[in-house]
Amino acid sequence: MKHKRQLVFLCGGSDCKGAGSKTIKKELKSELKSGVLKGHCKLIETKCLDMCKSAPVGIVGNHFCKKASADHIVKEIKKALDLQG
């Protein structure tokens, strides 16, 4: 049985890195390797998304997560995948 896989984009530009995207990336990697999200997501670090005033920025589906945290991005992933918990 196939399940849909959610692409998660995280800005890797200098302003976003300075605002904490590196730590968010580490937290997301560990979160996506375990629990209900395991195998449902692919984390992709991008070049600058040109939204530096809202750093750090992540994209889940059609939703831009501005001034994002790992918890906020995980919540959006679960919403996009219709997962509870």
Q: Quickly state the pLDDT bin for 83 (edges 50, 70, 90).
A: low
Indicate the number of domains in the chain.
1
Confidence of residue 2 (pLDDT cuts 50, 70, 90): low
Q: Would you say residue 1 lies in a domain? A: no
Query: Can you name the residues that pair with 58 across neighbouring β-strands?
Result: 10, 65
For 59, phi then psi, to 5°, come to: -125, 125
CATH number for 53: 3.40.30.10
pTM, entire model: 0.87
Domain containing 49: what range?
Answer: 6-81
Residue 14 lies in a domain: yes
Which of the four pLDDT bands, split at 50, 70 and 90, describes residue 3? Answer: low
**Mean pLDDT of the residues in the chain:** 89
- Does residue 54 sit in helix, strand or coil? helix
Cα 44 to Cα 26: distance, rounded to the nearest angstrom: 12
